[in-house]
Structure 1
Amino acid sequence: MATFALIHGAGDVGWYWHLVEAELRARGHDTVAPDLPCDDDTAGLPEYADAVVAAIGDRADTIVVGQSLGGFTAPLVCDRVPVKMLVLVAPMIPAPGEAVTGYWARTAYDQEPSGKYDDTIALFYQDVPPELAAEAVKRGRPQSEARLGEPAPLSAWPSVPTKVLICRDDRLFPPAYLRRVARERLGIVPDEIDGGHTPALSRPRELADRLEAYAREAG
């Protein structure tokens, strides 16, 4: 049995992971998926990490999984609790001391060809069942940017095995862009699955399969 700490992205809630949690728990694994204080102007990355560490509690040898902006929080958690592996899904991949607001320029995001999607569902949930996508939008929260300009309190990448899983149809982070960032920042060739930016809702079983395979690899 493995324990998975699942970290949601910007303006979201732990509910995002509920289908993956159900898959993993049915297979005998333990999961936590806390709500981060992303709508709180007084909270920054350290407080996001606090929420995850509190949810993990005294669990040991956790597999930490960060989705999208959760990629900034996940490595901070790895410095504070016993971790077997770090998995980043459709992620932002921070450099030490980098602010979230500086990420886009530092990774040359605007130089990557991508479509223009003004609609939230078209950008994030294009392959999610309509009723589920509507529920996700309803549950979403405003993402505070009050403290996202602060340097991330990350001095070095944590010394744990790290996996990057990208989505071939991601409209927010195009695959070519994430392949390049993963190579430049971590020296990693990412694994890939079909689907858009939110595979925990569009492909929960396939994502759970991947996470379970990572858990077996981590021992």
Structure 2
Amino acid sequence: MATFVLIPGGGSGPGYWSLLAAELRERGHSAVAVELPYEEKTAGLAEYADAVVEAVGDQRDLVVVAHSFGGFTAPLVCDRIAVDLLVFVAGMIPRPGERPTDWWQNTDHATALAESNLRHGPDPDVYALFLHDVPRDLADAALADSRDQADTSANAVWPGNALPKVPTRALICADDRFFPLEFMRTVTEDRLGITPDVMPGSHHPMLSRPAELADRLHTYWTTL
């Protein structure tokens, strides 16, 4: 079976993955939820990749799963260690030479978010924007595991020369109000050249639908 390496989104701790990790273990897999050095002012994307490689150690049969901002770290990991499969989950897909802080303008995220806000209400709070289908106690626990992310990783140029030549899947969420469905479909097709798979849920399916997400990840692995 596989070892799923779970890379959190921006400012998120490994606790975001706890429900999914348990589901993956029930299916016979191992799971490594990585703590990234978000709060370290000297840590950039290369240091984030270092943290992932260190957390993996000598484990093999690796599936790297990147959520949201974790998409800027995951491809770098694939260049450093042997990875069997890369999965973006509502993931920010980088381009060589791009700063994460420029990704938003380069993808015209502001337009997509404005249209989403028109549908769901102006200026939504963090629960409405990111966690609207997550039980409130789980949402509160996840937010309590958040990190203050230093600006270093967002302001430096993505150091990869190209996206890695490993099997890659992209999973986007039909009810995501922060990364709306059609926006993410366009970004994925443009940057990966593949059609993403769609599942129900908000920006955090590992919290709202961990069993379904685990099933999909398990299927990706078994159909390699």
TM-score normalised according to structure 2 size? 0.95
SS in 2 for 1:5: strand
Is residue 181 from structure 1 mapped to residue 183 from structure 2 by the alignment? no
Counting only pairs closer than 5 Å after superposition, residues 14-163 of structure 1 correspond to structure 2 as: 14-112=14-112, 113-115=115-117, 116-163=122-169
Runs of 4 or more, structure 1, over 4 Å off, are none
| Partner of residue 217, structure 2 | 211
Local SS of the residue matching 1:165: strand
CA offset digits 1:125-176 (Å, max 9, x no partner): 1100110101111111112113411101110110001100000000110010
Q: How many residues align?
A: 218
Distance (Å, rounded) in 1 between the aligned partners of 2:210 and 2:176: 16
Give secondary structure in 2 for the equivalent of 1:102. helix
For residues 137 and 110 of structure 2, what CA distance do their matches in structure 1 show?
32
**Whole-angstrom CA distance in 2 between matches of 1:147 and 1:6:** 18
Give the match's secondary structure for 2:11.
coil
Identity across the alignment (%): 52
CA deviation profile, 1:32-79 (whole Å, cap 9, x unmatched)? 011101121111111111111111111123010000000110100000
| Secondary structure at the counterpart of residue 83 of structure 1 | coil
Alpha-carbon separation, structure 2, partners of 1:147 and 1:35:
15
- The root-mean-square deviation of aligned C-alpha atoms, in Å, is 1.0
Q: 5 Å matches for 1:5-16?
A: 5-16=5-16
Gaps of 5+ in 1: none
Is 1:60–1:81's contact at 8 Å kept on the other side of the alignment? no
Deviations 1:109-132 (A, max 9, x none): 123222144411111111001101
> TM-score normalized by structure 1?
0.97
CA distance, structure 1, for counterparts of residue 123 and residue 169 of structure 2: 28
